[in-house]
Amino acid sequence: SQQGEEDPQALSIQEGENATMNCSYKTSINNLQWYRQNSGRGLVHLILIRSNEREKHSGRLRVTLDTSKKSSSLLITASRAADTASYFCATVTRGNNRKLIWGLGTSLAVNP
């Protein structure tokens, strides 16, 4: 079953601009993870944020987590054409940590 809902479904920006994607979820979580998928390829893990963390950085990526609103955002700064991909959030539900619950993804296009 899908828990996360990414917003927007699709985003198109110019190279150098920032891209922000949001993810909402329904239940209490242990952690939330963001993944990237290039067209026709497997997914690549980007960043994991635990339920007791509010913000995390990794290179040009910044992830925030608001457990009171059950939402997370992924910010990609100074975007590049190579960032063009689909981005998925996935949650590990508290009390059921055997699997990830996936959102439907945001399709990001970065135009040169």
Partner 1 sequence: DGGITQSPKYLFRKEGQNVTLSCEQNLNHDAMYWYRQDPGQGLRLIYYSQIVNDFQKGDIAEGYSVSREKKESFPLTVTSAQKNPTAFYLCASSIAWGGDGYNEQFFGPGTRLTVL
**43 lines the binding site for partner 1 (CB under 8 A):** yes
Rounded to the nearest angstrom, the gap between the alpha carbon of residue 91 and the centroid of all alpha carbons in its chain is 10
By CB under 8 A, is residue 104 in contact with partner 1?
yes
25, with CB counted inside 10 A (0-12, 13-18, 19+), is: buried
Nearest residue (CB) to partner 1, 69 versus 99: 99
Looking at the Cβ atoms of 42 and 112, the one nearer to partner 1 is 42
96 is written with which tokens? 């059921």
Interface residue with partner 1, options 48, 61, 75, 109 (CB under 8 A): 48
Q: How far is the CB of 16 from partner 1 (least distance, A)?
A: 28
Q: Considering the rule CB under 8 A, would residue 45 count as an interface residue with partner 1?
A: yes
**Which residue, 59, 70, 63, 73, is CA-closest to 93?**
70
31 counts as binding partner 1 under rule CB under 8 A: yes
Q: Is position 39 an interface residue for partner 1 (rule: CB under 8 A)?
A: no
Q: Is 5 helix (H, G, I), strand (E, B) or coil?
A: strand
Cα-based torsion angle of the residue sequence 40, 74, 88, 30 in order, rounded to the nearest 10 degrees: 140
Q: Does 2 bind partner 1 (CB under 8 A)?
A: yes
Handedness of CA 82, 75, 63, 22 (dihedral sign): negative
Residues at the contact surface with partner 1, assessed by CB under 8 A: 1-2, 4, 30-31, 33, 40-45, 48, 50, 88, 92, 94, 97-100, 102-105
